[in-house]
Every structure is written in C-alpha cells, then in structure tokens.
Amino acid sequence: MERTEFTTVDTHTGGEPTRIVLDGIEADTLTGATVRERRDRFKATADGVRQLLMQEPRGHADMFGAVPVPTDRADLGVFFMDTDGYLDMCGHGLIGVVTALVERGELPESPELTVETPAGLVDVTVEIADGVVRRVAFENVDSYVCETVPVEQDGVPVEVRIVYAGNYFAVVDADSLGVTLDSEDATQCIEPALDLRRAVNDAAPEDPVTGARATVSAVELTASGDGDRSCVVFADGSVDRSPCGTGTCARLTLHHVDGDLAVGERVEVTGPVGSAFEGYISDTSVDNGVTVTSPVVSGTAHITGEHTFYRTDDDTLGSFTLA
Ligand code: PYC
C-alpha cells in the first residue's frame, strides 16, 4: 500500500482557520519565477492536494489554507487556497502564516518582514514578546474603489460597490439584502451573498486602474452604527469567522473615498464571531484618475495544532464537498 503524507501547522486568526502546508507537496508542482507563477503551476498540476487538505473528510466547508514557497524578492513567499480555489491575497491567512512561522523559528524574529503574495509584495510588522507573536500588521497592496453596480435582489434594486483590495469585493449593506449581522446565525448570509456575487459577476464590472474585468471573489455584508461590523462570504459559501483582512482593507478604502476616514485615523471592524481587526489608511495616491489607498490592518493569530495527513492508495473516497 502506497501512502502520501502532508505535514501542516494550523492556526486561527480571530476564529478563521489557516492550514499551512509545510511538507509533502512535490517541488516540481511549485516551480515558477514569482509566487503567482508558483501558485498557477500548483493549481494546474496539484489541485488535488488543495482539495485533499481543504475539503472533507480532512478539511471542512469553511477550511482555508496557505502554502509557503521560496522567493528571492521577500522574506517569505506564500499563496492562499480554500475549498473552492485560490485567492490572490488573504489578510487573516497572512497573519496566521507569519505568526506560525515566526513562533516555530522558520522566519526571523524580526519586527519588519516582507511577504510576496500572488497579489504583490506586502510589508508586515510583527510584535513579539517572549517568543510569542502578539500581533501582526500588514500593509496591503494598493486598494481602490472600482465602480457601483446596480443589481436586483428578489426584484428589489440593490447598490453594490466593487472594491479591489488584493481580491475583488462586492461590498453591500446587509439590510439591503434582508439579513442582519446581529443574528448569531451567520449562515443566513450565505445564499443572499452567493446570489449577489453571481449577479455582480454577470454585470462584468471593470477595474478602472488596469482596465481588466473585475471578477468578484468575496461578498462583504456590512453594518454600522454600533461600530463597523462585517460578514464576508467567499469560495463556495464559506463564511469568514474573522472580520476578513482584505475585506477590512476594502472597507477602509470605501470610508476614505467617502470622506469618512482621514489618513492615519484608526477604525476597528468586528466579524461574525466578535473578533476584531484594527486598521487605518497609511497613504494615498492617484492612478489613472482613481484614488488608491495603502491600507494597514492588524490582528492576532494562534497556533491550534500540527497534523500529518495521510492519503493511502486504497482510500478511494478522496475528498468532497457536500452539495
Ligand atoms: O482575511 O483577507 C482575508 C480573507 C479572505 C478570505 C477569507 N479571509
């Protein structure tokens, strides 16, 4: 009987998991000149590994993962995956990976690190005390508002704002979708969010900076009043338990463009299980007539355990998601 093994260290960032693959992936499925190329090669040649580690029975419907890869442009290269595919950037995942690798001695105990992601280079600041990472902040890639897309939800017109923050987000007021973020049951957000993502992507929004099509991967349902709250739905209906790192960047960018957030002013965004990220806009510029921000977001992660996963050749079930 043949057995393949994969070693992971798992973290959670404000309740949201990141399964970090340390060993077991064939090196020739990770080749490329950039982290994006390495991710694309993995996607083309070893997507079964993603499915095996993210989906049931070894993962679950809301599992999230990261694969550290070599780079000579930064201290660390990493790409991100979920039960359904890949994201170019992930804030909670980045906080989890940096926390785990610094605490395990696999990254230098340096307060300043750079990380190459498929979305680009990200600067990271690490607060460490007694060998424990207390907080990780990242300055995301450039973020900007793309456009407002009018869609109909159950015959009712809804205004959806498309924001690039390392991934394309459709940001919408939860009330306008008929859901509340006050409920303990965040699963009520899933169907309306997936319907909205389909409608928005059918409308083919454009990225005003690159001129390319902006394909939305995540929907951010928002509520304000008693502080900023959000619930981000992505992949095939996964709910981010954290406030979502890149989603928080999208939110900060919208606040800034709407004149509600000055450069340097700090805000906290709370996610569906009550955990919060803090953020601010560190700088702005203009590209192609569009206001571009540099959002900084910070949060805390914890290592939850280590795994060695097996796949034996007599295990015919493989991996699956429940339809
Ligand atoms: O933290 O950026 C994030 C994220 C994206 C999807 C899930 N989490």
Sequence spans of domains, the chain: 3-138+302-312, 143-299
Q: What percent of the chain is predicted at pLDDT more than 70?
A: 100
Q: If we measure between CA atoms, which residue out of 96, 98, 40 comes closest to residue 64? A: 96
CB of 230 closer than 6 angstroms to any ligand 1 atom = no
* Ligand 1 closest atom vs CA 249: 2
Ligand 1 pocket member 295 (CB < 6 A): no
The answer to whether domain 3-138+302-312 and domain 143-299 are alike in fold is: yes
Residue 184: its pLDDT value, please?
A: 82
Per-residue confidence (pLDDT) for residue 191, from 0 to 100: 96
43: buried, middle or exposed (CB in 10 Å: 19+, 13-18, 0-12)? middle
Whether 117 is in the pocket of ligand 1, judged by its Cβ within 6 Å, is no
Q: How far apart, in whole angstroms, are the C-alpha atoms of residue 128 and residue 125? A: 10
Average pLDDT of the chain is: 96
Confidence of residue 99 (pLDDT cuts 50, 70, 90): very high
Virtual CA dihedral for 204, 208, 210, 214, nearest 10 degrees? -30
CATH of 143-299, one of 1.10.3210.10, 3.10.310.10, 3.20.20.70, 3.60.60.10: 3.10.310.10
User: Where residue 212 falls among pLDDT bands split at 50, 70, 90?
Assistant: very high
Is residue 210 predicted with pLDDT exceeding 80?
Answer: yes
For the segment 295-311, the average pLDDT, to the nearest whole number, is 98
pLDDT band (50, 70, 90) for residue 156: confident
- pLDDT, residue 87, reads 98
The catalytic site residues sit at 90, 244
Q: pTM score, two decimals?
A: 0.97
Q: pLDDT digits over 250-279, tens only? A: 999 999 999 999 999 999 999 999 999 999
- Identify the architecture of domain 3-138+302-312 in CATH: Roll (3.10)
| Res. 39 pLDDT band, cuts 50 70 90 | very high
> Distance from the CA of 185 to the center of ligand 1, in angstroms?
19
Would the pLDDT of 155 be above 90?
Answer: no
For the segment 106-120, the average pLDDT, to the nearest whole number, is: 94
